[in-house]
Amino acid sequence: MVDKILLDSEVYEPAEDTFLLLKNLVDVKNKRVLDVGTGTGILAIEAYKRGGIVEGIDINPKAIELAKKNAKLNNVNVKFYLSDLFSNVKGKFDVILFNPPYLPTEEDDIIDSYLNYAFDGGRDGRRVLDKFIDEVDKYLNKNGLVQIVQSSLTDIDKTIERFKNKGFEVKIVDKLKIPFEILVVINAKKRF
């Protein structure tokens, strides 16, 4: 497990959703792994410690700075860089991890901080999630796997349907009931 993690007020602090995804992390040994929306870098660091060849991306420059510090603190070699979803990503991966901004967000909920990227999913909570699903298959190797965590506040059935419509085998591998919502981990395997 990750030994130490530094935090920053402008970077999403690992919470129940992060730890649920971490608990269900698939076998990444000798696999190319991309951690989308890396935040503190905790998932990327753990994937590296489990033998993955890992890259972490985030739209938040503060997150990239923090993830690099956390990687150094944990003696791991993860490549972190700025990217708005896949805008700066090159190559294909065996495993893509994502804890997306899934909260339905009204104009009044938006905060003037980089932290806003971590939770602002647009009016229906799906703005970033749907864009991710539309693009992710271009960055997966054959039989590649996507692991995401999502909230019941953001239509889980729609996520499953969107993945299936793109030819993925999809299953919910874990659930966690917390106040006001249920968190789920979804594995979507590329069959092509």
> Percentage of the chain surpassing pLDDT 70?
97
Output the domain CATH number for residue 65: 3.40.50.150
Distance of CA 134 to the CA centre of its chain: 15
For the segment 92-103, the average pLDDT, to the nearest whole number, is 92
* Residue 4: inside a domain: no
* Residue 10: inside a domain: no
pLDDT at 119: 66
Domain that holds residue 79: 16-190
* Residue 152: inside a domain: yes
* Residue 6: inside a domain: no
Total number of domains constituting the chain: 1
* Residue 8: inside a domain: no
pLDDT band for 17, please (50, 70, 90 cuts). Answer: very high
For residue 102, is pLDDT > 80?
Answer: no
Distances (CA, A) of 19 to 71, 90, 99, 163: 18, 28, 10, 23
Distance CA 146, CA 102 (A): 16
CA proximity to 119, closest of 133, 106, 100? 100
For the segment 42-59, the average pLDDT, to the nearest whole number, is 98
For the segment 129-133, the average pLDDT, to the nearest whole number, is 96
* Residue 2: inside a domain: no
* Residue 51: inside a domain: yes
* Residue 62: inside a domain: yes
Contacts of 36 (CB under 8 A, 6+ apart): 57, 85, 86, 96, 97, 98, 100, 132
